[in-house]
Structure 1
Amino acid sequence: MFSVAPGRPAPGPYRSLFADRTFRRLLPVFALSDLGDGMSVIAVAWLAFALGPDGGQGALAGIAVAAYVLPGALGALILGRWMRRLPARRLLVIDSTSRAVLLGAVPFAHVAGLLTPAVYVGLLGASSLLHAWGQAGKHALFVPLFSDDRRLTANSVLSTSLWTATIAGPALAGLLVGVVSPAWIIGFDAATFAVLAFQIGRTVLPHVPEPVGVAAPVAGAQRGLGILLRRPELLGLLVVTWVFNLAFGPVEVALPLFVTGNLHAGAGLLGAYWAAFGIGAVVGALSLGAAKRLPLWPAILGIIAGHGIGMLPFALTHSPVPSMVGFAFAGLLYGPYSALSITLIQGRAPAEALTSVLAARSAVLLTASPLGAALGGFLLDRTGAPAVLVGSGALMIAVAPAGVLALKLFGRRTRRRRERTGEPPEQTHMSAAASR
């Protein structure tokens, strides 16, 4: 059976990691950029509410959130011919410079009175077109710096930076929205990308004989998708995760309206909600290291259902306490999800095609949350924020029994195939869960 028993990283690997001068120089600018993105979680939707027409604020907020993310999937597909041969450093500089310029145009257009909804969505969409390449370049940047055993530690530090930004960014933005326009918060995000581009551009990296880019993963994305389609277990995980992300998408646009319209509060409380979610996620991710053995498929479905249960207190609008506690609980469960799902893929995908499978998975999942945000925005103008938030939770809860049914069907299919072919029984989390 597949089990996850992550070992606790010893202090030694972290000491050797921070002993590297290049990593010490780059980590602060990555952390600063993560903070800017965390603040934009609040600012993008909040500015859309200010720009949207009466009765259409929710729809514009959904479109804006989608535009801030979704074009990255399109850019990964249509720009491969030109981008895939570039080294990781150049990919990151190009993406950071592009985002600095385009996001930086938002506050200046706002001051000039030119920031219409169409201009706003256009700037957000254009800024995200290269971001998938920039993120890929970020992770490929450290390949020539560290050996295999140190790369895992480096990725762990970068992930910690993202979760920390999830806590601090929205909370800080919530405080600043009461003082300055959210357009200037987006401008701060742009400035962090300018600093990132400058620092990456002036950093000397070890020479490698071949460009350390993302050509292989992107070029092999079709192959990875083919593997996912041929392996029901991996395909099932992809579908479940896509629906989970789709269900979470409306939260990003409904939560601001819940705070302002139902609780009659300001952006400070909205930041507190996201901070509670981020703190829960950090605690959940750290607790995963204490798990000795954890059945992956039951844990994955349990996380999705539990996350949905955490959204149900949004039906109570007399006080923020029940919903904030529920949101923190949802974050607590969400923290380990990515590690668990990646562990399942690592155990089931062919080792020689693992990169292609992960690339295909990322390309597919990138579409889910923005589509959910856009759908949530349109629903907001027809129902209300509590109904959208609770509905998102209900959809998550429904994923669990559907997943169990899929497990049983897959288990029966697997047993029949083995009976026909004479294959020896192989106990997996999926087949084990299906037999119970």
Structure 2
Amino acid sequence: MTPSLTTRLLPPTYRPLFAHLEFRRLLPALAASDLGDGMSVVAVAWLAVLIAPPGQSGLVVGAAVAAYALPGAAGALIFGRRLRRLPPRRLLAADSWLRALLLGCVPLAWAAGILHPVLYVVLLAGSSVLHAWGSAGKYSLLSQMLPPDRRLAANALVSASTSASVIIGPALAGFLAAVVGPAWIIGVDAVSFALLAVQVGRLGDAAGAEATAAPIDTGRSAAGLHLLRRQPELLGVLALTWFFNFLYGPVEVALPLHVTDDLHSGAGLLGLYWTTFGVGAVLGALCAGALRKLPLWPVTLGIVVGWGLTLVPFGLGVSAGVSLVCFALGGVIYGPFTALSFTLFQDRTPAAWLTTVLAARGAALLTAAPVGTALGGPLSAAMEPRQVLAASGIATITLAVVAAVMRAWGKHRAHTKHVGEEA
């Protein structure tokens, strides 16, 4: 099938993206790295179980999972002074090469018989140090590569790729783990990032022309957190996203307990919940591209309310079938949120500061879901799991109401100040 025919078969929102040569080349490489990370969700924890000393599996698994994600927050702060001056393409390539190199050492150490738990955790932690900067570079590169009216559709496709990897990656890893072992699956993840790094290196200079032309402020004022404090709207988007992810955290703890304690079922039903959610999230993310003509802030707040509403029926003791439908609908509603959030940042941030601001955003959000998940344990011990799910939903709805009130108050205050200055 020729590219022109493929383009004609796409929805109108996405056709211009696939007519863009560099985006068309970059998207498969991004999808490959997403799939590699999706497989590593299973492989990282399973390999930790295999190499853990007797009686210490829980400790090693927890350290490995945390090391695969959390050091990115520290990297965003430690390397900020140097990395914020680099163009987005080099940031994405640097993150990809680092992950390819260190993750690639895992299967080699496994084959050599020297993969001690400490070495394993160190390799995982090192591979994730530039994660926030790599993500910032990716979305900054998309912002530079495409005109403003195409950014939401591009973000939607990238977000859909991430959601799809959550569905396909773990299932594929579960099959491959029995055939080749989890260490080699992590090696496949390393190869996927090497492919991404090579593809990013092949992008033409036009992708970075805008960043090169923009005057970059390398002083303290260019630091992401400093800029966010001077941009109330961006700070509001970040705060909303942080609390949204935080309130999602308890769901990951309460849902398995709901399946076992309330519904008296097993892992099959739990897997079905996450599969329906993932499929819904992919569909929702793809639909986000059609929302570009709507005001982004009201739509974003509507998504927060909608996700909260889909959790409330859990607390009413509905059947598994009804709650599955609610969770799938929640995935559809939740799906566009990431694309919309990034688009708000891309549209409201000066081009010269976008990478730095997105790195600060990524560093802050890396803490949200883990903190919420940690809170989910004590909540599930104090309340029934279905009550925790409903409470998360009600709190999420409240978050949207508070955010809407604060935004309206901020706009009213700005208008009053403007009128006063004119008088």
Please, what TM-score do these two structures have when normalized by structure 2?
0.72
Q: Which amino acid aligns with 1:265?
A: A
Matches within 5 A, 1:148-159: 155-159=155-159
State the partner residue of 1:397.
Answer: 394
State the partner residue of 1:106.
Answer: 106
Shift of 1:139: 4.2
Q: CA offsets, 1:186-233, max 9 Å, x none?
A: 2221121123334444x2623777975999498777565445435655
Residues 279 and 221 of structure 1: is their aligned pair in 2 closer, same or farther, counting only changes over 3 Å?
farther
Shift of 1:135: 3.1
Match of 1:265 among 252, 264, 267: 267
Q: Which amino acid aligns with 1:16?
A: A
Name the CA distance, whole Å, in 1 between partners of 2:218 and 2:298: 31
State the partner residue of 1:373.
Answer: 370
Contact 2:92 2:135 in 1 (8 A): yes
Name the CA distance, whole Å, in 1 between partners of 2:197 and 2:390: 39
Q: Which moved more, 1:374-383 or 1:115-124?
A: 374-383
Residues 354 and 24 of structure 1: is their aligned pair in 2 closer, same or farther, counting only changes over 3 Å?
closer
Residues 147 and 356 of structure 1: is their aligned pair in 2 closer, same or farther, counting only changes over 3 Å?
closer
Q: Which moved more, 1:178-187 or 1:276-285?
A: 178-187
1:44 aligns with 2:27: no
Residues 265 and 319 of structure 1: is their aligned pair in 2 closer, same or farther, counting only changes over 3 Å?
farther
Matches within 5 A, 1:216-295: 216=216, 225-226=225-226, 228-229=228-229, 234-249=234-249, 263-265=265-267, 273-288=273-288
State the partner residue of 1:430.
Answer: none
Count of residues in correspondence between the two structures: 409
1:133 aligns with 2:136: no
Point out where structure 1 has 5 or more consecutive residues left out of the alignment.
Answer: 1-7, 425-436
Q: Which moved more, 1:369-378 or 1:309-318?
A: 309-318
Contact 1:301 1:400 in 2 (8 A): no
Q: Which amino acid aligns with 1:94?
A: A
| Aligned partner of residue 69 in structure 1, secondary structure | coil
| Aligned partner of residue 360 in structure 1, secondary structure | helix
Residues 97 and 229 of structure 1: is their aligned pair in 2 closer, same or farther, counting only changes over 3 Å?
closer
Q: CA offsets, 1:48-89, max 9 Å, x none?
A: 566668887666555443322222232222223443444544
Shift of 1:241: 1.4
Q: CA offsets, 1:343-376, max 9 Å, x none?
A: 66677x5x6x476478436524533344532663
- Return the structure number with greater helix share: 2
Residues 325 and 198 of structure 1: is their aligned pair in 2 closer, same or farther, counting only changes over 3 Å?
same
Name the CA distance, whole Å, in 2 between partners of 1:217 and 1:258: 51
Matches within 5 A, 1:352-391: 353=350, 356=353, 359-360=356-357, 362-370=359-367, 372-373=369-370, 376=373, 380=377, 391=388
State the partner residue of 1:206.
Answer: 205
Shift of 1:16: 2.4
Matches within 5 A, 1:290-329: 299-311=299-311, 324-329=324-329
> Cα RMSD (Å) of the superposition?
4.9
Residues 401 and 413 of structure 1: is their aligned pair in 2 closer, same or farther, counting only changes over 3 Å?
same
Same amino acid, percent of matched pairs: 47
Residues 136 and 147 of structure 1: is their aligned pair in 2 closer, same or farther, counting only changes over 3 Å?
same
Q: Which moved more, 1:147-156 or 1:119-128?
A: 147-156
Shift of 1:43: 3.0
Point out where structure 2 has 5 or more consecutive residues left out of the alignment.
Answer: 1-10
Name the CA distance, whole Å, in 2 between partners of 1:325 and 1:308: 14
1:183 aligns with 2:180: no
Residues 139 and 295 of structure 1: is their aligned pair in 2 closer, same or farther, counting only changes over 3 Å?
closer
Please, what TM-score do these two structures have when normalized by structure 1?
0.70
Shift of 1:243: 1.3
Q: CA offsets, 1:219-275, max 9 Å, x none?
A: 777565445435655434322211111233455677789889985437xx7765544
Name the CA distance, whole Å, in 2 between partners of 1:217 and 1:332: 40
